[in-house]
């Protein structure tokens, strides 16, 4: 995979640039929407949910922003990955190019957008009296894990979308369910302890919790928790690679 990326580096860079520019094509504010959209979402959620869940909770803004930040990144990268093959069918049907390049380019452009927003996230953490330290650098770990996880999920979804067009509608419903099951605006303390452990079966929640442990609690998660985050990332990318290898020769017959 790395050798093919080096060999087709120029093409891959152009795909990333194209994907990033397409997102804001013909918009008045352009890249400003990268920052404005999550801020408006945060503003609405804070007004609504503070009265119900965060009235007596310290650093609720950081708690809420951590959830919306990770969820938005996951949604953008996996949705983009799902449409990657169908949107570029004219290219790979005429040029011999690794098809996973299109999923990777969508995820890299989503990562760039995420890194822009995370600067704003840190600004709000400062306003929320969050203390930064050496432990903050550990955020690189869940970001890398989430990138790998998103690429794997994107590969799976893009293959499914080629064969089953209903995938996009089912996945939109799934994203809504996932958002409510990721404890974005509420805490899991309201549930019995046995049920709280069930949340760890949700990879997105695990990455959200990692951010909250670092930023709000000011400590680095346990080695076992690192292993859990890495497991979800590796499992997703391995399944994605297997799906592509199995169906790579079939894609051209269904586009």
C-alpha neighbours within 13 Å on the C-beta side of residue 141? 23
Between helix 203-212 and helix 140-163 the angle, nearest 10°, is 160
122 in a structural domain? yes
Any idea how long the chain is?
Answer: 255
C-alpha 160/C-alpha 167 separation (Å) is: 7
- Which has the minimum average pLDDT: 17-31, 76-90, 99-113? 17-31
Overall domain count for the chain: 1
C-alpha neighbours within 13 Å on the C-beta side of residue 159? 19
CA distances from 36 to 25, 136, 189, 218 (A): 16, 24, 31, 28
pLDDT for res 74: 95
CB-based contact 138:223 (threshold 8 Å): no
C-alpha 69/C-alpha 223 separation (Å) is: 24
pLDDT for res 156: 94
Residue bearing the bigger pLDDT, 46 or 173: 173
Mean pLDDT of the 26-34 span: 57
Mean pLDDT of the 44-50 span: 65
25 in a structural domain? no
Check pLDDT > 70 for residue 71.
yes
Q: In a 3-state reduction of DSSP, which class is residue 170?
A: helix
- Give me the domain span that covers residue 172: 59-254
8 in a structural domain? no
Residue bearing the bigger pLDDT, 123 or 20: 123
54 in a structural domain? no
104 in a structural domain? yes
Residue bearing the bigger pLDDT, 145 or 20: 145
42 in a structural domain? no
pLDDT for res 61: 85
CB-based contact 239:152 (threshold 8 Å): yes
In this structure, the dihedral spanned by the alpha carbons of residues 192, 197, 199 and 205, taken in order and rounded to 10 degrees, is: 120
Q: Which pLDDT tens digit goes with each residue over 179-233? A: 999 998 888 888 888 888 899 999 999 999 999 999 999 999 999 999 999 999 9
68 in a structural domain? yes
CB-based contact 91:14 (threshold 8 Å): no
**pLDDT grade, residue 39 (50/70/90)?**
low
């Amino acid at each position: 995979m790395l050798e093919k990326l080096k060999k087709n580096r120029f093409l891959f860079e152009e795909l990333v640039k194209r994907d990033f520019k397409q997102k804001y094509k013909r918009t008045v504010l352009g890249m400003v929407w990268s920052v404005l959209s999550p801020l408006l979402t945060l503003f609405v959620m804070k007004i609504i949910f503070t009265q119900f869940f965060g009235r007596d909770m310290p650093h609720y803004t950081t708690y809420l922003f951590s959830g919306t930040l990770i969820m938005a990144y996951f949604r953008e990268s996996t949705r983009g990955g799902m449409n990657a093959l169908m949107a570029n069918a004219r290219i790979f049907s005429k040029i011999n190019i690794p098809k996973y390049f299109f999923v990777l380019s969508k995820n890299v452009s989503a990562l760039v957008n995420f890194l822009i927003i995370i600067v704003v996230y840190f600004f709000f953490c400062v306003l929320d009296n969050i203390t930064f330290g050496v432990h903050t650098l550990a955020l690189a770990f869940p970001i890398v894990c989430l990138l790998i996880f998103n690429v794997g999920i994107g590969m799976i979804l893009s293959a499914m979308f080629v064969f089953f067009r209903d995938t996009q509608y089912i996945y939109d419903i799934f994203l809504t369910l996932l958002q409510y099951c990721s404890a974005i605006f509420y805490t899991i303390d309201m549930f019995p302890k046995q049920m709280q452990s069930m949340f760890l079966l949700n990879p997105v929640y695990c990455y959200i919790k990692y951010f909250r442990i670092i930023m709000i609690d000011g400590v680095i998660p346990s080695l076992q928790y690192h292993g859990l985050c890495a497991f979800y990332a590796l499992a997703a990318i391995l399944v994605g690679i297997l799906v592509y290898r199995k169906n790579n020769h079939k894609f051209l017959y269904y586009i």
